[in-house]
Amino acid sequence: MSVRVNVKPLMHWLIYRGYTVRITKRAPGEVEGIMTTPDGSTTFRYDAAAQVVHLPEKVVAINEYGWEIDPP
């Protein structure tokens, strides 16, 4: 059985930022992976329910369209 996580907002955010991504782990409600930015590669964890991208240096809240918003 595959774990289905809504990553559409995450994918939109990555595309808007011009990043590439490789998903390394899927779990109920979240995914983990490595994204490549102009500054290099970094790990991330995306919480689909909260629509939050956890990066090593910060947390980014996004809306359903992938736009960054102020955290609640």
pLDDT, tens digit, 9 for 90 and up, residues 14-44: 999 999 999 999 998 999 999 999 999 999 9
Straight-line distance from the first to the last Cα atom of the chain, in angstroms, rounded to the nearest whole number: 33
The pLDDT value recorded for residue 3 is 63
Domain definitions of the chain by residue range: 8-63
Backbone angles phi, psi at 12, to 5 degrees: -60, -45
Average pLDDT over the chain, rounded to an integer: 92
pLDDT confidence tier of residue 47, bands split at 50, 70 and 90: very high
* pLDDT for residue 66: 95
pTM of the model: 0.88
Length of the chain: 72
Helix (H) or strand (E) holding 10: helix 8-17
pLDDT of residue 46: 97
Q: Return the C-alpha torsion angle 17, 41, 6, 54, nearest 10.
A: -90
CA atoms in the 13 A half-sphere facing the CB of 47: 8
